[in-house]
Chains A and B, each alone.
Chain A
């Protein structure tokens, strides 16, 4: 399949009086039609800059961005404006026109592209119905809740029938319930319209809920990329581990040595692994921490166990895990 978005050697350096800031460095990325692609990273990693380079709100300092094979860098500003109609974008702060009703906000991009007022209204009504706001057509943004505002923004972003939707922290200003509802809506749009969605977030739970693939961006670089399944089950880079495991391990109150992290892929989490280990090796195991979850129908997750102090028993257990091909790694300084 041909990628719908192809980014090659993309770099962006901001020049300012206080020195140059390298926000992105040699980013390579391919996103395919119909994907929900997550881009995750800590604050300041360069996520917003990356997504703003995809529709050229920010002009890259080096490299190319191709949308459907079209190199955005080669376009005149007029052509670029037309290309942008194929890419909707939603934001953390919604960015609705405060002096326009919900309906007129959705009409806005249609007016820009020269659609007649009557046709624009028809289409806007359809869209507001899809996002579940047909009772709020005449409401101004100040009369809507955060979740409703984001729905209007989604309807507006889809008005010109784009193939791509860019979401920059679109759920970061919403509460957990509204976040879930908004993500469900995005997933529905993805499935029903074959919309390609790029989701920027700093929350792993967002990626986990809707994304197929994810890129982890750390300090201007993509340090890891792959299916959500793989990265959750077995994060390799430091940044990925930090994002996947980080917070939870801090919740655990006591220090200990001799700790191992067992990683479950979909298969092994349905086996009573721990019970079998204990029975086979006849040695006690202390479960320090466990977290498994359902991703795309597969159970994946991790468990941190503490092995007995007796060296022989510990070796037996590790040997057993090896034999059963259950991935594990030692966790040092487990706090």
Chain B
């Protein structure tokens, strides 16, 4: 019943899609999240300069795009993205092709996670850095990111497990992985045993990913001992 080759490949494909798309999605989502923070302007427009207005427009536009992308159900995004994926990867099927819609779905989600992690950084600490003459870039690199690191790592644990869930859906469009196995054998051929194995494997993988992320966050947090 337990087909090592079938499940072995399934696990590898799932992990490949999950970790690959998480990594690329962070390359887009992290700067996007930072940009959302940096361009945030005080609500009161009385003392706005041109720079304030430019930042505000960037903030609103980015926020809008992020929200729109986040509100598209992933299954629909998958189908919608097929021609674009074909344009980028050359094919719309297979694990590598699945990474394209996964990144598009995950990046805005990650941007919001990053934004909320950075917002947790104590305003007083930022103010202290400003009083020492820190530039905006120095505040981002030397204050915001290091101080938010534990929270960012917890966010990445949440992101990676959510994206793992998305990869199962990618199975629908022939992305491979455990989701694909579950659909092909469990759903179309009524092989309940394979369905159950897929389910258990998924639970174990999510648990491991979650646990690793949380441990990393804890080790990296110097606030509590």
Is the C-beta of A82 less than 8 angstroms from some C-beta in chain B?
A: yes
Q: Which of A26-75 contact B (CB under 8 A)?
A: 55, 57
The answer to whether A143 and B225 have CB atoms under 8 Å apart is: yes
The answer to whether A15 and B222 have CB atoms under 8 Å apart is: no
Count residues on chain A whose CB falls below 8 Å from chain B CBs.
Answer: 38
Is the C-beta of B223 less than 8 angstroms from some C-beta in chain A?
A: yes
Is the C-beta of A97 less than 8 angstroms from some C-beta in chain B?
A: yes
The interface bits of chain B over 182-225 (1 if a CB of A lies within 8 angstroms of the residue's CB, else 0) are 00000000000000000000000000000000000000111111
In the bound complex, residues from chain B placing their C-beta under 8 Å from that of A109 are 132-133
In the bound complex, residues from chain A placing their C-beta under 8 Å from that of B27 are none
Count residues on chain B whose CB falls below 8 Å from chain A CBs.
Answer: 29
CB-CB nearest in chain B for A84: B133
What's the least CB distance linking A151 to chain B, in Å? 15
In the bound complex, residues from chain A placing their C-beta under 8 Å from that of B223 are 98-99, 140, 142
Whole-angstrom distance between the alpha carbons of A17 and B125 in the complex?
A: 27
Whole-angstrom distance between the alpha carbons of A81 and B127 in the complex?
A: 13
Number of contacts between A and B (CB, 8 Å)?
A: 88
In the bound complex, residues from chain A placing their C-beta under 8 Å from that of B133 are 80-85, 109, 112-113
The answer to whether A95 and B128 have CB atoms under 8 Å apart is: yes
For B43, B131, B150, B220, the residue with the greatest tally of chain A CB atoms inside 10 Å of its CB is: B131
Whole-angstrom distance between the alpha carbons of A140 and B138 in the complex?
A: 21
Whole-angstrom distance between the alpha carbons of A82 and B135 in the complex?
A: 10
Is the C-beta of B86 less than 8 angstroms from some C-beta in chain A?
A: no
A-binding segment of B61-69, B97-105, B139-147: B139-147
The answer to whether B146 and A17 have CB atoms under 8 Å apart is: no
In the bound complex, residues from chain B placing their C-beta under 8 Å from that of A157 are 132
The answer to whether B131 and A142 have CB atoms under 8 Å apart is: no
Is the C-beta of B119 less than 8 angstroms from some C-beta in chain A?
A: no
What's the least CB distance linking A30 to chain B, in Å? 22
CB-CB nearest in chain A for B224: A142
Is the C-beta of A316 less than 8 angstroms from some C-beta in chain B?
A: no
The answer to whether B44 and A16 have CB atoms under 8 Å apart is: yes
Whole-angstrom distance between the alpha carbons of A85 and B150 in the complex?
A: 30
CB-CB nearest in chain B for A93: B124
In the bound complex, residues from chain B placing their C-beta under 8 Å from that of A16 are 44
CB-CB nearest in chain B for A105: B128
Is the C-beta of B134 less than 8 angstroms from some C-beta in chain A?
A: yes
A interface residue numbers (CB < 8 A to B): 15-17, 55, 57, 77-78, 80-85, 87-89, 91, 93, 95-100, 108-109, 111-113, 140-143, 153, 156-157, 160, 166
New contact pairs (4) apart from A17-B43, A95-B124, A98-B222, CB-CB < 8 Å: A96-B128, A97-B125, A98-B125, A108-B132
